[in-house]
A and B are shown apart, each in its own frame.
Chain A
């Protein structure tokens, strides 16, 4: 029997910014993501995508509502437990890579294990595995300024998955890459999701990137707008995404020129 395992659940999430002039960035967001899913979040600029991802990432508490990751509310944990939680269960990929300049690529990748006090033999073994999967063995000794954007993003992905997290979170991971590098990175996400089974949530502007997801959720003005599921064809899914974006207004024309 197919067993539905819920990895992420959001219940009635609100997020309000500002003290005097209040601005409601998220309004009553409900979401449920199952194990192994690959979910995209899209919406116009300022619609609250980053805010939503930050709320899920345990770094920006919601004003009200509940976040459950693997059945646990991270905002109820104390500081050090929360740190352990992030270290064990979450992986992050950012638009601007966020690699640490003082470390080599290899050292950046093993950071989550280092922080966890893993044995050197374990660290080396895992690094080897992940580096060969992502095809970045040749740059492990390089420093962050010596590699291309695509390579840096692969390293960031390697860092995000080396500790086999429960949930992989990405905010516009292809935003700083050209279309070729973006395609490589998205194929990587897809293969990691398929082969390792990491549940992935990704914010993106780019319909091409979004078309790799199983499901895309659209938000507008901080509210849930629509949700579409991918069928067999990625090309068809891409077209569907463009259609919804044009419904959302304005922005679709920006994307329609993008070729698959």
Chain B
């Protein structure tokens, strides 16, 4: 047996230990490769510099960083399980160099196999991914191609990752103490310590982060609170402070607070001394202490995953709502006075809609643009035109007298506190010759978001008296109940009318905005779902690896206890509670984090995303429960074999 054969035999015969490591590598490689296949697809590559390429490219980078961390953590778990083996080899006279070489060869064997298997599986699935992506981007179909670039990229990057990790292994295996390696580095002998100060800091930091996330929604409850909120809003780097305090708070939660709480439980002697409570509490303290960093990582990864998925899911399910609000009418054509083809264009639109069999209602308005001496633009619409539109949009009719004006918001998300034009009390037209008093603010956009800023409604008589006319627009809005099917007719119209002509006419449709948003958001959904899924899977694997690494130590502990008369049922209970804590505490904390992260998102969205949040959290709860039950039962069954009955 030569040294090389030795390394091969090691990998070949020890599948149980190597499998977890191998599979997690295969999984990350497969995901990375599938994305690379998307990224290098001729159709997508031809749209260089577009949003699609950007999004997929950035996702690829995120996956790469994640892959490195993931493989690193798998490999260190995998090396820890084998510390005894390394101890034996060292005592037989293996040099550090030989040990590094052995680990290197093994890594390379596993790495090469994982790259090959990952790419082959990736090829199988890439057809599916391409179909999905093609569907999302509404490209006819992304045909299959031979992705040699993706293969090169994946092979190159992962070879680098495995090389880099092999270079790091001497730092992971602490070869200096053969004694510790042989005895699997006893852990429980270090003293439990926690700091009350840091436990309180954990609560305060988490509280601060959550409060900052919620602050916009807490406005207007209490004047003192408002001052604090405004102070937070005006502070710089709010996001950085928020994220940092939640992340640090989470870390302290696991490293200090949880141990503090368990130690308190320990003091309640009637609870602590009750049957198996003593067992699981005392053991859990050690487990949490030793796994604090891992639990922290799992929580943060899960929170990122939940947030990403809730975010994209929420965005994609509200997209119809949002485009309805952005474009209250299905189609709006606006013409300025210098446009000679106005009537002809309108006829074309009418005919085209009719020829496709669409029922529609048309609303015409006239808008005057004025520029005051101080260069302020003001748009004016008369009351009868406004009421016409208002009836189409289901808004209240208005009756202004000659000295009154009604302000109309130009953006969907209007905020009288912050949009200055909406806080005007008086309006001066014709350079101060007509002075109006603001009677109120219209409830929503009446053309489409962004058209006609600083729009005021005035009484018809007042309107007729206006002399200072910079520009007069005619705007035609079409209400088409069946707007979701207007994509084809819109494309035909675009072929005829184009996008418009600067200073003459322009037109906008709801379906195009909806489609674009829909596409982007579906792409986000695709990407976000993917990232979320691999982050969550990664987080779960960390837990699994950890349990696996600890198994030997646990085994001897349970064997000892069973000799003392611990029944199988009791052992099962102790193990289940402990594993449940390791599985669900990060989940619960991550869900809470996500809730607050989502409330930040909520401030830029029109509709509530609470339902989406609940769905995502619920799905992950189910996944987590399935995962927990299967891991726990395997774990207990494994221990059962060693228990003295």
Contacts and interface: CB of A to CB of B under 8 A. Distances in A.
B93 A83 contact: yes
Contacts of B645: none
B92 A86 contact: yes
Interface in A89-123: 90, 92, 98-103, 107, 110-112, 114-117, 120, 123
Contacts, number: 76
Contact of B92 (A101, A115, A117): A115
Interface stretch (B8-16, B131-139, B473-481): B8-16
A209 interface: no
Contact of B14 (A54, A101, A107, A110): A101
A83 B14 contact: no
Given A98-B88, A102-B13, A114-B1, A79 B182 contact: no
B96 A79 contact: yes
B90 interface: yes
Contacts of A99: 88
Nearest to A79: B96
Q: How large is the interface on B (under 10, 10 to 19, 20 to 34, 35 or more residues)?
A: 20 to 34
B95 A80 contact: yes
B9 A102 contact: yes
A160 B284 CA distance: 41
Contacts of A123: 1
Interface residues of A, number: 32
Interface in A121-177: 123, 143, 159
A88 interface: yes
A83 B9 contact: no
B20 interface: no
A175 B357 CA distance: 94
A59 B92 contact: no
Given A59-B178, A114-B3, A114-B6, A102 B96 contact: no
Given A101-B14, A103-B6, A159 B1 contact: no
Contacts of A54: 179
B97 A80 contact: yes
A9 interface: no
Interface in B311-357: none
Interface in B1-32: 1-3, 6, 9-10, 13-14
A35 interface: no
Interface of B is mostly: helix
B98 interface: yes
A88 to B, nearest CB: 7
Contacts of A107: 1, 6, 9
Contacts of B182: 59, 98
A57 interface: yes
Nearest to A109: B1
A159 B9 contact: no
- List the 5 shortest-distance A-B pairs measured between CB atoms, nearest first: A87-B93, A83-B95, A86-B93, A59-B178, A102-B14
29 contacts: A59-B177, A59-B179, A59-B182, A79-B95, A79-B96, A80-B95, A80-B97, A83-B94, A83-B98, A84-B95, A87-B92, A98-B88, A98-B182, A100-B85, A100-B89, A102-B10, A102-B13, A103-B9, A103-B10, A107-B1, A111-B89, A114-B1, A114-B2, A115-B3, A117-B3, A120-B1, A120-B2, A143-B13, A159-B92
Interface of A: 54, 57, 59-60, 79-80, 83-88, 90, 92, 98-103, 107, 110-112, 114-117, 120, 123, 143, 159
Given A59-B178, A120-B2, 5 more contacts: A54-B179, A59-B91, A83-B96, A84-B95, A114-B1
